[in-house]
A = this chain, B = another copy of it.
Amino acid sequence: MERGRGALGPALELVHTGRAPTRAVLTAELGVTRATAGAVAAELEALGLIEVDARPAAAAGSQGRPSHRLSLAPDGPVVLAAQIHADGFRAALVGLGGRMVATAPGCMTVPADPAHIIDAVVEAGAGLLRETGRRCLGAGLAVPSAVAEPEGTALNPLHLSWPAGAPVRELFTEALAKADVPGPGGAPALGVTGNDVNLAALAEHRHGAGRGARHLLCVATGHRGVGGALVLDGRLHSGSSGLALEVGHLTVNPAGLPCHCGSRGCLDVEADPLAFLTAAGRDPGPEVSLLQQSRDLLRTEYADPAVRAAAELVVDRLGLGLAGLVNILNPDRIILGGLHRELLEADPERLRAVVADRSLWGRSGSVPILSCTLDHNSLIGAAEAAWQPVLDDPLAALG
């Protein structure tokens, strides 16, 4: 009866990622007729997900009737996004298009017991839902640890002092049920849970520096160790059990520091904030986060030869690791986050030269290396993961 049901999900994803600003573009991107695209847009509007603005959009120079503008409904449904990191947690409501609708002030409690902290972050998010009265369609959580699939357990929550193997997805889902947070179809939310760098990569791919990339590699370091993520054709690649892109144990300095993995000179211990501070001869203090200390040092004392030499050392190590990943994954774009982003911006040419020099064929060495561009990309990524069921089947999710 109704037209345009099969294309509903793809159409929403196009508007969601900003690739379908008008009905005309939507028609072309979906590869359907104008009639179908019109019906799809009408259906999405009826569902309260998008808005159609009949006012023309300053058609610059183009002939013909101007196309109507498609935009995401500003008062549409949201998902609950949560992030736990070394220094605390943060909760937010995120709409389609990666728009942060409401944020709870980042809490700086040190996360001791997983159940306790997850309850707290969900309660903060549920409070935002009550305050704003927005409809909620799901919930996502980012944690600084590999998350095993399909169990949803945190395997190495190193800087959270959590037990290895903590059942984070289960705890998250239970907390959501306790706080009455609804998910797709009005049923209790499922509690999508993932590694923070993985989710950040997803967010950057959809709304940030990774837009349009086919094979996107992200590498970042925040506190201790180095994280990686890969987005292939728009889908996160997390391996057969969620453990892909654990890039921290690539050898980047054969004569380097011993690593707990049994080898020496792993990326984890050669290219994280602690490695940088140590190389610069600074004693890391306990007050501020290692990332913040490294960032301050890099920004304020880059003129100091010792600091500059330390930065170049870490850049060289990182470049070796990236080159190894390029040889294995052959991405068409690389995005760096955390300290790696700062190092890239301090001396972009050096990093690019090392990667190009050590990648096998000049061409794959010339892969663009960019800084991440989204604020709170792990949080937005958690929201993206929570949105996925809606993007896959809007009708079922809105039931």
Given contacts A148-B363, A215-B239, A254-B254, contact A244 B358 (CB under 8 A): no
Most buried by B among A148, A332, A364: A364
Chain B residues in 8 Å Cβ range of A332:
240-241
Interface string of A114-149 (1 = CB under 8 A from B): 000000000000000000000000000000001010
Interface size on A, residues (CB 8 A): 43
User: Are the CB atoms of A239 and B360 closer together than 8 Å?
Assistant: no
User: Are the CB atoms of B243 and A254 closer together than 8 Å?
Assistant: no
Main secondary structure of the interface of A (DSSP, over half): loop
Given contacts A324-B249, A357-B262, contact A237 B243 (CB under 8 A): no
* Bound Cα distance A214, B244 (Å): 13
User: Are the CB atoms of A331 and B245 closer together than 8 Å?
Assistant: no
CB distance from A370 to the nearest CB of B (A): 15
- Tell whether A30 is near chain B: CB-to-CB under 8 Å: no
* Bound Cα distance A36, B134 (Å): 44
CB within 8 Å of B: which of A305-364? Answer: 324-325, 327-332, 357-358, 360-361, 363-364
- Tell whether A155 is near chain B: CB-to-CB under 8 Å: yes
* Bound Cα distance A254, B258 (Å): 13
* Bound Cα distance A148, B362 (Å): 12
Residues of A within 8 A of B (CB): 146, 148, 155-156, 214-215, 228, 232, 237-247, 249-251, 254-255, 261-265, 324-325, 327-332, 357-358, 360-361, 363-364
A–B complex contacts, Cβ < 8 Å, 20 sampled? A146-B361, A148-B361, A148-B363, A238-B330, A240-B332, A242-B330, A243-B327, A243-B330, A243-B360, A243-B364, A245-B328, A246-B327, A246-B360, A247-B327, A249-B360, A254-B255, A254-B264, A261-B360, A328-B328, A328-B329
